[in-house]
């Protein structure tokens, strides 16, 4: 193996930092909503950074560094998820979907945008934590992080049709969690929010309005 000169290593290090550093805050936020504590999230991002540095030469297209980093982070989180068995704390999906159907008779995307508009960061983390990881990460990558369907399919490693299905069902599950906890979180109903705001507007959040890709 050819030794790397100090100057070449310095160039590699600077290139790595220039490409990775701008995305660390969003990566940490994504990890924080998938882990029990913030220190766990920091550990996951640190692990991701180590793996990204090790595999940095494999990144051929620097314009794709963001999905590449999220893909690595998701692998790190998946490994940790398997170790902690978060599935034991999840509520049944069928019950959440039933709750969603009890309160919703309109388009799922519209309802999702309405109810999520009232969530703060902690409520969003708790709601995402209550649904299976495959669905939670799909919704978050698309509706919060703004990745397109094909990018998420690459990050997660599943066909694009499967990813679209996960996003659709994940929104229903997330809406079910929010509706089930709306009194506990003092969210009220979508109609209540419009009545309380004379302009018919809802407060915005970090979640993007669902869109097609």
Give the per-residue pLDDT at 199.
Answer: 31
State which fold the 90-196 domain adopts. Answer: Arc Repressor Mutant, subunit A (1.10.10)
Which sequence spans correspond to the domains of the chain?
A: 6-84, 90-196
Give the per-residue pLDDT at 15.
Answer: 92
Among residues 134, 15, 23, which one has the least CA distance to residue 68?
23
Among residues 25, 79, 29, which one has the least CA distance to residue 51?
79
Distance from C-alpha of 132 to C-alpha of 34, rounded to nearest angstrom: 11
- Average pLDDT per consecutive 10 residues, the chain (213 residues; last block may be shorter): 73 93 94 86 93 91 94 88 51 52 50 62 82 88 92 92 91 81 64 38 39 49
Cα distances from 126 to residues 58, 117, 121, 148, in angstroms, run 35, 15, 9, 24
Place of tokens 């919060």: 144
Considering Cα of 17, then 22, then 23, then 24, what sign does the dihedral take?
positive
CA atoms within 13 A on the CB side of 82: 5
What does pTM read for this prediction? Answer: 0.66
CATH of domain 6-84: 1.10.1740.10
Give the per-residue pLDDT at 118.
Answer: 65
Given a contact cutoff of 8 angstroms between Cβ atoms, the answer to whether 133 and 86 are in contact is yes
CA-based R_g, the chain, Å: 19
Give the per-residue pLDDT at 24.
Answer: 95
Distance from C-alpha of 34 to C-alpha of 30, rounded to nearest angstrom: 7
Tell me how far apart the terminal alpha carbons of the chain are, to the nearest angstrom.
Answer: 44
């Amino acid at each position: 193996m050819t030794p790397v000169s100090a100057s070449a290593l310095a160039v590699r290090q600077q290139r790595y930092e220039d490409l990775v550093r701008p995305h660390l805050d969003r990566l940490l936020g994504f990890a924080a909503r998938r882990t029990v504590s913030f220190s766990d999230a920091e550990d996951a991002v640190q692990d991701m950074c180590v793996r990204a540095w090790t595999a940095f030469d494999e990144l051929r297209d620097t314009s794709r560094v963001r999905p590449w980093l999220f893909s690595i982070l998701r692998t790190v989180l998946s490994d940790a998820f398997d170790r902690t068995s978060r599935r034991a704390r999840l509520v049944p999906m069928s019950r959440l979907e039933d709750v969603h159907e009890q309160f919703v008779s309109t388009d799922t995307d519209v309802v999702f945008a309405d109810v999520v508009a009232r969530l703060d960061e902690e409520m969003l983390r708790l709601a995402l934590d209550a649904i299976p990881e495959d669905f939670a990460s799909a919704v978050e990558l698309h509706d919060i992080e703004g990745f397109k369907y094909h990018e998420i399919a690459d990050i997660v490693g599943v066909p694009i049709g499967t990813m679209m299905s996960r996003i659709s069902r994940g929104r229903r599950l997330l809406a079910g969690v929010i509706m089930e906890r709306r009194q506990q979180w003092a969210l009220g109903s979508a109609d209540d929010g419009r009545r309380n705001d004379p302009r018919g507007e809802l407060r915005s959040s970090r979640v993007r309005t669902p869109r097609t890709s």
